[in-house]
Amino acid sequence: MEHTNIVIMGAGRLGQAVKTLLEKKGVTASLWDADTVRFPDQKPLQEILPTADVVFFCVPSPFMRGAIASVVPLTKPDCSFLSFAKGIDGTSGKTMPELFAELAPVHPLAVIGGPMLAEEITMGGNAAAVIASKDENLRAMLCELFSSPQFRAEPSDDLFSVALAGVLKNIYSVVLGIADGVKVSGNEKGWLVAQAIEEMVGIGKVLGADEKILLGTAGVGDLVATGYSPYSRNRQAGDEIVATGTCAVPGEGLFSQPAFTTRLGANAANFPLLGLLGKICVNHEAAKAAIDAFFANK
């Protein structure tokens, strides 16, 4: 494992945190970002990708299609990919495993999900994640690579359920952020969390996901962390929507909500909390009034 050549695509908060985690275990990785200001000392992709054994994609879902397209021509066929994105492709409505299957079908793939806020990892805090892959060797290698007293890694072979858990927790964490922003009571906040979990499980049944994964580390575990952490971009998006009526940096949850609702089709009507987010963020209804009406009429 010490000779594994790793390239991290994306030098934002997450990419830097992942690099820090690896360095603590004595593993070096090449970091690259489309914005050279973030990491000015980076080497060209043409130099670092041809010898890569694993590429970590630490880029948001809106940019994943382009990132995959830039990486695949430069990597060897047996190079493995690990996706950290917790959103869907806005063009196709595909989850990350589905998108990688379309654009990089020959490359072994893993996805990771769970409460692993970048700032907390960088500060030495604990984190947990589920690492999913159909490739048993890749799954085992990545779990060994990340596992430490600071980082709990749980293996799974269910890429779709882990990816869907990440999509849903991001969407519903925006709702929780909005609720916090309008200062709902603790009682109402607890009720909203219960509604979010109920809808996550219900959506999982519609789309064929494993309920245990949705209720576990990658789903509810990450929902709680993301929904109430001051470091969460989705949580911050909720605050910003309440304060200004819009959001300059929407994050994965707000980006995914419209395309995900479209993917659900007629089934979306069965998930009113998902619809509430659309009313506030797409139709620009007043957040406090919309949440009060939802609570009174659910």
Known catalytic residue: 183?
A: no
Residue keyed to tokens 């990440």: 166
SS3 174: helix
Catalytic residue among 24, 169, 212, 279: 169
Look at the block and give the residue holding tokens 């990350």.
96
Q: How far apart are CA 80 and CA 180, in angstroms?
A: 40
Strands (E), the chain: 6-9, 29-32, 54-57, 80-83, 109-113, 127-133, 151-156
Closest alpha carbon to 1 in 180, 131, 110, 142? 142
**DSSP code per residue over 235-289:** HHHHHHHHHHSS-SS-HHHHHHHHHHHHHHGGGGGG-HHHHHHHHHHTS---HHH
Around Cβ 183, how many Cβ atoms within 10 Å?
A: 10
- For residues 75 and 104, is the Cβ–Cβ distance under 8 A? no
Q: Which residues are catalytic?
A: 169
